[in-house]
Structure 1
């Protein structure tokens, strides 16, 4: 006897797929299972006690948003538009994450102000606790949306082949209750998390190259070899959106390597590129990969040699595509 089952909504689809032993990625498990007892998304909003979205459903829904668009347009006359449309989907997650980050920062400032002025009164303590719940809720939402953005970006990369490009110390006194101390500790921990996200720890490998490069495998093999020697490496590039730097960014996304993209400071005029090279070298890299490009790459190569940094240099003629064509 054939049994037919009607699937009514996405949650049922996700439940069926999850039943086939799928488990959410670590990032989704962390971002969507924070353990907050209650939340509010605005200071005037009622406190909510409902759960966060299911981590597995959120992961699958995010992937479907991007992948389905590529599937629908594949082998059609507008297939070439898929990356442009999908880029916008990833960017929408990114923009909302940025907005939530700003709202959380402002909420954190409110917590700070209330903690500073707290005098032990019941009214101020209540305001402080509400402000802290708001800040925690916005942080929670930001982490969830950022996690979805990162997964959407990874799906975009897989489909397109291109990467999607003051808190004072706690003071204990009769006027400072446990709520104030907890708020100060919360703010300090929050600031530390943000600092760590913008200052990744690990040995730095510098990468730079020109905007014209065909042999992807030559560079990815070199990067693979470096990562095998330096598993916890941080990749620092000159942040160009095509050519060598784009290849390196795609490799970093695939390999899960932290990437620091150094853009030009246009205010420095003609010196901007050289100043960026100085910034890269100021990171005290343990290795460097420099590919032939403009005079900026030549300058970086000279400085790398002068500082005796272990390095790999690639000229345009080293590309195997050129040799094969010959």
Structure 2
């Protein structure tokens, strides 16, 4: 099945040779699968044991093969329009599971912190502390592996459908790094730093905002590619909409090789002034550059604020968008929300 999917997909999509045909596991897969912990706990309540991890190249190939097979099976049939929806759900299942694992990881980290702050000298205490640490590390290892598969499946989805994948809800943050046995306190500190960098990243802010009714993703991606070339450690700030400009920008940030943190600066509160207050809050982030797509009066207000602050602005007009003839195929755009 995999060989057939590979052969057909490469004939149709230029992106796939770099994603799938080169049968060498990417550094992300090598990091997530290639250096497992000596001991792990596969299920809560189990004793620490030596459990194998899937081979990096096998995990990468099978993950990509499933996405390719979905499109190959449906192409040329009356089910073809459904392929992007099914493939989107497959990617989202990894995203959903990664979130569940992170919540469980947070719970064990809290218990581990409470134990570490109240040390005892007993053998029972030492064994309990060690098992809690291994459990937390095991969950972190599982989460990193699932996030790695999600990110690769998302790239395959983009190559096959022509539209970048994005989650229906929640944030997307991933990192592939091998776990090692370290002291409980050091482990918690390292984990807190990782979470802070994943969810509260530090770096120069680039603002991207615009209306939900926007289809020209190539123009936005081109501007962001140029900015990223100059500001490689940038943070992307959007207004958190699930469609249009914000979704296009978030999908760009999630591409393999880009991996730019995204902060969704949504609306908090009600009333006519809420959006304008948010604009001022965005200005307080001291952005170094901005991509603004033509929209409402709120968007015009943000343009004026940034211009007064001498922030370089890439302004895109609705009338300058690519025509409908070069839009992303409608079957793929249904997942742009």
Give TM-score, length-normalised by structure 1: 0.80
Equivalenced residue count is 290
CA contact (8 A) 2:253 2:262 kept: no
Matches within 5 A, 1:109-188: 109-165=110-166, 182-188=183-189
2:294 aligned with 1:292: yes
Q: Secondary structure at the match of 1:206?
A: strand
CA contact (8 A) 1:163 1:246 kept: no
Aligned to 2:316: 314
8 Å contact 1:73–1:82 — kept in the other structure? Answer: yes
Q: CA deviation at 1:27?
A: 1.2
Q: What is the CA distance between 1:66 and its match in structure 2? A: 1.8
**Offset of residue 233 of structure 1:** 2.6
* Mapped contact 2:235–2:263 kept (Cα < 8 A): no
Moved more, 244-253 or 182-191: 244-253
What's 1:63 paired with?
A: 64
Give the conservation status (yes or no) of the 8 Å contact 1:206–1:285: yes
1:91 corresponds to: 92
Query: Matches of 1:97 and 1:250 in 2, distance apart?
Result: 18
Aligned to 1:154, the other structure's residue is in SS state helix
Maintained 8 Å contact 1:292/1:314: yes
Alignment of 1:245-324 (within 5 A): 245-254=246-255, 256-262=258-264, 264-265=266-267, 267-319=269-321, 321=323
Per the alignment, residue 44 of structure 1 pairs with 45
Please state whether the residue corresponding to 1:86 is helix, strand or coil: helix
Contact 2:60 2:152 in 1 (8 A): yes
The alpha-carbon distance between structure 1 residues 241 and 54, as it changes in their structure 2 partners (threshold 3 A), is: same
User: In structure 1, the residue corresponding to 2:254 is in which secondary structure?
Assistant: helix
Aligned to 1:17: none
Q: Which segments of 5 or more consecutive residues in structure 2 lack a partner in the other structure?
A: 4-20, 167-181, 327-337
Q: Relative to 1, partners in 2 of residues 1:43 and 1:307: Cα closer, same or farther, differing over 3 Å?
A: same
1:199 corresponds to 2:218: no
Q: Which stretch shows the higher mean deviation, 270-279 or 143-152?
A: 270-279
The answer to which structure, 1 or 2, has the higher relative contact order (CA under 8 A, 6+ apart) is 2
The within-5 A match list for 1:71-82 is 71-82=72-83
**CA offsets per residue over residues 61-101 of structure 1, 9 Å max, x none?**
11122221122112221211112111211111111111111
Q: Separation in 1 of the partners of 2:45 and 2:303?
A: 57
Gaps of 5+ in 1: 1-6, 8-19, 166-180
Partner of 1:241: 242
**Structure label with greater radius of gyration:** 1
Write the deviation string for residues 158-195 of structure 1: whole angstroms up to 9, x where unpaired: 22222222xxxxxxxxxxxxxxx921111111111111
Work out the CA distance in 2 between the residues paired with 1:43 and 1:242.
38
Greater alpha carbon shift after TM alignment, 221-230 vs 150-159: 221-230
After the TM superposition, which of the residue ranges 236-245 and 49-58 deviates more from structure 2? 236-245
What is the CA-CA distance between 1:103 and the residue it aligns to?
Answer: 0.9
TM-score where L is the length of structure 2: 0.78
Contact 1:265 1:272 in 2 (8 A): yes
CA RMSD between the two structures: 2.5
Q: Which digits, 9 at most, give the CA deviation of each residue in 1:138-170, with x for residues without a partner? A: 1111111111111112222222222222xxxxx
Distance 1:21 1:248 in 2: 28
